[in-house]
Amino acid sequence: MNDIAFLDATAQAELVRSKQVKPIELVEAAIERIERLNPQLNAVVTDMYDIARETAKSKLPDGPFTGVPFLLKDLGAAYGGVRQTSGSRFTKDWISPIDTELTRRQKAAGLIICGKTNTPEFGLLPTTEPVLFGPTHNPWDTTRTTGGSSGGSAAAVASGMVPMAHANDGGGSIRIPASCCGLFGLKTTRARTTQGPLLGDSMSGLTVEHAVTRSVRDSAALLDATCGPMLGDPYVAPAPRRPFLQEVGADPGALRIAFSTASFSGTNVHADCIAAVKETAKLCEDLGHKVEEAAPKIQAPEQIIQAFLAVWASGNAAGIDRWAQAMGKTPTEDQFEAVTWQLYQGGKEITGGAYLLAVGVLQSITRQVAAFYEKYDLWLTPTLGSPPVPLGYLMEDANRMEGDLPRAAEFVPFTPLINATGQPAASIPLFWNDEGLPIGVHFVAPYGDEATIFRIAAQLEEARPWAHKRPPVSA
Is 173 known to be catalytic?
A: yes
Is 149 known to be catalytic?
A: yes
Contacts 24+ apart (CB under 8 A), 49-56: 49/114, 49/115, 51/82, 51/113, 52/27, 52/112, 52/113, 52/114, 52/115, 53/24, 53/27, 53/28, 55/27, 55/112, 55/113, 56/22, 56/23, 56/24, 56/26, 56/27, 56/112
The β-bridge partners of 60 are none
**388 and 154 in contact (C-beta within 8 Å)?**
no
Q: Which of 86, 88, 116, 149 is catalytic?
A: 149
Which phi and psi angles does 293 have, rounded to 5°?
Answer: -80, 120
Contact residues for 310 (Cβ-Cβ < 8 A; gap 6+): 350, 354, 355, 358
Q: Which of 73, 107, 116, 187 is catalytic?
A: 73
Q: Supply the DSSP string of 261-328, one letter for each residue.
A: -S-TT-----HHHHHHHHHHHHHHHHTT-EEEE-----S-HHHHHHHHHHHHHHHHHHHHHHHHHHHT
Is 469 known to be catalytic?
A: no
Beta-sheet pairing, 378-382 with 184-187: unpaired
Angle at the Cα of 268 from the Cα atoms of 214 and 140, rounded to 5 degrees: 30
Containing H/E element for 450? helix 450-463
Which phi and psi angles does 115 have, rounded to 5°?
Answer: 170, -175
**131 and 121 in contact (C-beta within 8 Å)?**
yes
Q: Which of 86, 150, 159, 173 is catalytic?
A: 173
Which residue numbers are catalytic? 73, 149, 173
